[in-house]
A and B are shown apart, each in its own frame.
Chain A
Amino acid sequence: MSNYFYVAPEQLIKDRAEFAQKGIARGRSLVAAIYDKGVILVAENPSASLNKVSEIYDRIAFAGAGKYNEFDRLREAGIRWADSTGFTYSREDVDGRALANYYAQHLGDMFTEGQKPLEVEILVAQLGNKLRPTKLYRVAYEGTISDEPRFAVLGGDSETIKTRFALSEESVQPLNVTLRNALNALAGPERTIPAVELEVGILEDRGHRRTFSRLSDDQVSELLG
């Protein structure tokens, strides 16, 4: 007779969740927030080339926290999904909510059926227009999807950062104020983060089809004043 150890499903889920949380906590955090003209994504990222924030489609951006190789693969899948959906139907049919749902399903599947859960948290940001609202969808490692009203924090220590940001920004602000608040929330009272260690992307209407742009170190410094 083979050895069969019973593990209660509660225990199994708890172990997997702890494993994923630990992995995510090792990485640095990021803040995404809605400002008066768009959406800003601010990540603490010492690397200038391994991005945490990127463009998915005309009005959709992606941010990932946790294990780089895992969320980067999800980013690529998101771009492929968006480009092929737009190719098959029309550009306006590419919906951030649909993408966030696919991410949630995949992360949920990996959490229960995979060899190991993915150690990532991701965010799908959508800039609104006549067809759709501006939205921040946060997808957790086990596939929980949440529609964050004004801002979202991803990565380790997210609760503390969330509280700090909520206290400093009570309503929707202009870009420079939101950037400053995001930076302060990420750094906390004891630390300062130099502009070169920030990765900042925005979604904003500037008369072009593609609304995503990366802010350079100089632009970030200038906005911070």
Chain B
Amino acid sequence: MGLPLFSAHSDPGPSFWHFADTSGLTSAPNATPSDFAHATTVIAVRYQGGVVMVADRQATGNFIASRDVRKIEPADKFTALAIAGSAARAIELLKITQLSFEHYEKMTGSTLSLEGKANYLSPIIQRNNLSSPLIVVPLLAGWDESNLIGRIFEYDGAGGCYERFDFATIGSGSPFAEGTLRLGFRSDLDREAALELGALALYEAGDNDPSTGGPDFVRNIFPMMVTLNEAGFQELSGDEVGERFRVINERRTQSGGVAGGALR
């Protein structure tokens, strides 16, 4: 590719997606529905001072394709993007998103607002999902530097973007995670309580949804846990996450395998 110069009226501006589109870097989706979509559970919970995100690590097709997939990635320092749906499309969306936020920053010398980042994804998801059987549904959460709060944005299949003020879930394990979150959520959660609730909700999803991987004590592979706050995107260490799930597991054994009492 030569030097991409544009005249003032055809300039794609600071949007990498628009530039990639005009220069043919991204192609319109054209695939068959037989490509596998990975089933998932990703959870985002808002707390006082930020957002906690938890995701399982399993990629499922007709069989378990991978046990250590990362479904949450930093989109930039203060934003995380989680993905559910077709792995190929989701990874491309992630790549485009990360690049776009950085591209905007370099082109304009300023960072996008969190709401700007959330809205930016809408047309990209819309075009993918309305023209391809390979559906991708992301979840965006971040620390809003102008308002100093954590915020969560979820999307529907057609690209509609909705802000959630409590919690949000995506993936096939959503109903089970959602049930736990509905019972356990309070608006005054602190970081620790949000991490505990998020882990429990993921545990429930892993327990009931065949396509969601719970904690894997055999291989020491545990769900991803991430916090977004004024310090930016931070991932909890494998050991710390493992410890949290060990505690939940122990409690569950003591209660004879039933969930009752877990949400004390």
Contacts and interface: CB of A to CB of B under 8 A. Distances in A.
Interface of A: 49, 51, 54-56, 73-74, 76-81, 83-88, 102-103, 105-106, 210
Interface string B1-36: 111110000000000100110010100000000000
A83 B106 CA distance: 10
Closest 9 CB pairs between A and B? A102-B3, A80-B4, A77-B3, A77-B5, A79-B106, A83-B103, A106-B3, A55-B106, A77-B4
Nearest to B5: A77
Contacts of B248: none
Contacts, number: 51
6 contacts: A74-B3, A78-B3, A81-B4, A83-B103, A103-B3, A106-B5
Question: SS class of chain A's interface: helix, strand, loop or mixed?
Answer: helix
Interface string B126-138: 0000000000000
B109 interface: yes
Contacts of A54: 106, 109
Contacts of A51: 109
B109 A84 contact: no
Contacts of A74: 3, 5
Given A54-B109, A83-B16, A102 B2 contact: yes
Given A73-B5, A83-B103, 11 more contacts: A79-B106, A81-B1, A83-B106, A84-B4, A84-B23, A84-B25, A87-B25, A88-B1, A102-B2, A105-B2, A210-B102
Contacts of B65: none
B106 A56 contact: yes
B99 interface: yes
Contacts of B106: 54-56, 79, 83
B174 to A, nearest CB: 31
A88 B25 contact: yes
B25 A80 contact: no
A51 B16 CA distance: 21
Interface in B80-113: 95, 99, 102-103, 106-107, 109
A74 B2 CA distance: 12
Nearest to A106: B3
Contacts of A210: 102
A66 to B, nearest CB: 17
A84 B25 CA distance: 8
Interface of B: 1-5, 16, 19-20, 23, 25, 95, 99, 102-103, 106-107, 109
Find the residue from A78, A80, A102 having the highest chain B CB count within 10 A.
Answer: A80
Given A87-B25, A88-B25, A76 B99 contact: no
Find the residue from A77, A84, A102, A105 having the highest chain B CB count within 10 A.
Answer: A84
B200 to A, nearest CB: 35
B95 to A, nearest CB: 7
A51 B109 CA distance: 9
A80 B2 contact: no
A69 to B, nearest CB: 10
Contact of B1 (A73, A85, A105): A85
Nearest to A55: B106
B4 A87 contact: no
Contacts of A106: 3, 5
A102 B3 CA distance: 6
Contacts of B20: 84, 87
Nearest to A58: B102
Nearest to B109: A51
Given A56-B106, A76-B107, A79-B107, A84 B3 contact: no
A85 B99 CA distance: 12
A19 to B, nearest CB: 21
Contacts of B23: 84
Contacts of B19: 80, 84
A224 B19 CA distance: 41
Nearest to A86: B99
Contact of B103 (A49, A79, A88, A102): A79
A80 B23 CA distance: 10
Contacts of B2: 81, 102, 105
A88 B5 CA distance: 18
Contacts of A81: 1-4
A83 to B, nearest CB: 5
B214 to A, nearest CB: 33
B79 to A, nearest CB: 16
Contacts of A76: 107
